[in-house]
Amino acid sequence: MLKNEETSGSSSVIDFSWVASWVAWVWKDHHRALDAHSPARALLVQEFAKQFMAENPDIEVVVRTIPYTEYKTKLLAALAAGSGPDVAQIPSYAVSEFRQYGVIQPFPEDVISPDYSRSIVCCCYRRPLIIDGKVYSLPTDVQTVVLFYNPALFEKAGLDPDRPPQDWNELIEYAKKLTLWEGGRMVQSGFATDGYSPVVEMFMRQAGATFWDEEGKHVKFEEAQVEGFKFLTDSRTVYHVYTPKMGSRWTAFRQGKLAMVFGHGAMVGSFKVGAAPGLVFRTALPPACPKTGSRTTVLTSWATVITNNCTHPQAAAKCWHTLRPQTHRGVGSRKQANCLPMFRS
């Protein structure tokens, strides 16, 4: 936050809140600040905060954490009460929703114009940016779903650690070999999924689902949706390679009790926190649907928006400009947060 004008003389005021899959940050004039749920991103955010404050001595950035699952509810409530941040990161699909609620405003056109945003943002992230000819958001976190696997557990099960499963059939075949039971209790899971929507969508799309009619106006039912969903439910109910009694799939993977799990690249840093000593894991492309041969994955993206609470949109845009080169160069993207490049050179 920029230090409060009431206490800092000529300084401006800005609150900045960012959430990226596992992250929420806030720069706030009310001394509530940047929220981070992923350990790797918390470090990235702290580094960015230090750099930004060094370059902008009239701005103070404070860091705190908020559970990701509570972020949207708390953000909307705070904005409705007039106590929310000046800048927030929200899912890209929610930009239109937040605009309809009347809680966000467009970026100042003299700082970020529609033409400028089109020139710097990679094409696949542009869709939610511009509404009615004005820039309402800019990308800050883009990721795809990948397969994480434990090569040590592969070797113990007689599987080649350099050859992850190539299709759904192999995924189940490997998972069955990697699942261990003792006294009727699962002590090691081969493959886990807890219904995370991007993963479910990925399997449906690999099976051929498109979700929309030809005009792109109405959601339609497709057998491919059922096929993808059934494969995931069968992994539990038919093949018994995972049970919720194992607890959190993330914790199980960190502790070497889960061989394979789907997740975003940001989990690389998270898996290293509280991990079993010597844990080694690798990433691979998602296995293909045997029927279609598709290895389609799903892209998820988050966007920076300026809220209607913000009385200094120029300063808010300045914050984003400072952040953009770092995300483009991948200072945090590839080393810590493992996000995809979002901007053109």
User: Does residue 316 sit in the same domain as residue 235?
Assistant: no
Q: What are phi and psi of 112, to 5 degrees?
A: -130, 100
149 with 234, same domain: the answer is: yes
145-173 mean pLDDT: 97
How large is the average pLDDT for residues 190-202? 91
pLDDT at 286: 96
Q: Is the pLDDT of residue 14 over 80?
A: no
Tokens (6 digits) for 115: 């033409």
The structure tokens 């919720």 sit at 244
pLDDT-derived band at 85, boundaries 50, 70, 90: confident
Is the per-residue pLDDT at 33 higher than 70? Answer: no
pLDDT tens-place string over residues 262-299: 998 778 877 887 889 999 999 999 999 999 999 999 88
Could you read off the pLDDT of 311-334 as tens digits, one per residue? 778 877 776 666 654 544 443 444
Q: What are the structure tokens assigned to 189, written together?
A: 């899971």
Task: Give percent of the chain with pLDDT exceeding 70.
Answer: 72
Pairing of the two strands 130-131 and 24-26: unpaired
Does residue 343 form part of some domain?
no
The answer to whether position 240 is within a domain reads yes
Q: Are residues 41 and 114 in the same domain?
A: yes
Same structural domain, 222 and 171: yes
| Residue at 313: amino acid letter | P
> For residue 86, is it within any domain?
yes
Its sign, for the CA torsion 9, 12, 13, 17, is negative
Q: What's the mean pLDDT in 29-53? A: 57
Q: Does 234 reside within a domain?
A: yes
- 301 sits in the region (left: phi over 0; alpha: psi -120 to 50; else beta) called beta
Split at pLDDT 50, 70, 90, the class of 18 is very low
Q: How far apart are the first and last CA of the chain?
A: 29
Q: What is the mean pLDDT of residues 62-86?
A: 77
- 312 within some domain: yes
**What are 27's two structure tokens?**
């720069």
Mean pLDDT in residue range 168-187: 97
Distance CA 140, CA 90 (A): 9
In a domain, 241, yes or no: yes
Which pLDDT score, from 0 to 100, does residue 165 have? 98
Same domain, 197 and 324: no
In a shared domain, residues 196 and 293: yes
Q: Are residues 288 and 325 in the same domain?
A: no
pTM of the model: 0.75
Report how far residue 61's alpha carbon sits from residue 16's, in angstroms, rounded to the nearest whole number: 9
Domain count, the chain: 2
Q: Do 310 and 14 form a contact (C-beta atoms < 8 A)?
A: yes
User: Rg (Cα) of the chain, in Å, rounded?
Assistant: 22
Residue 344 within any structural domain of the chain: no
Shared-domain flag, residues 269 and 167:
yes
pLDDT at 51 over 60: yes
- Span 59-80, average pLDDT: 74
Yes or no: say if 48 and 332 are a contact pair by the CB < 8 Å rule: yes
- Above 60 in pLDDT, residue 180? yes
**C-alpha to C-alpha distances, 317 to 100, 267, 322, nearest whole angstrom:** 21, 29, 9
Residue 345 lies in a domain: no
Each residue's pLDDT tens digit, 124-155: 555 668 888 888 888 777 778 999 999 999 99
Average pLDDT for residues 152-175, to the nearest whole number? 98
Q: Name, of 50-59, 200-209, 241-250, the range with top average pLDDT.
A: 200-209
Place of tokens 């954490």: 65
Residue 85 sits in the same domain as residue 180: no
220 and 295 within one domain: yes
Dihedral sign (CA 306, 308, 309, 315) = positive
Tell me the residue range of the domain where 165 lies: 144-299
Torsion angle in degrees (nearest 10) through CA of 160, 161, 165, 166? -80
**Per-residue pLDDT tens for 230-258?**
999 999 999 999 999 888 999 999 999 99
The answer on 288 and 308 residing in a single domain is no
SS3 89: strand
- Domain of 206, CATH number, reads 3.40.190.10
Residue 13 has pLDDT above 90, yes or no: no
The answer on 279 and 151 residing in a single domain is yes
Burial 303-337 (b: 16+ CB within 10 A, else e): bbbbbbbbebbebbbbbbeebbebbbebbbbeebb
Whole-number Cα distances in Å, 268 to 25, 162, 171, 262, 282: 20, 19, 21, 12, 9
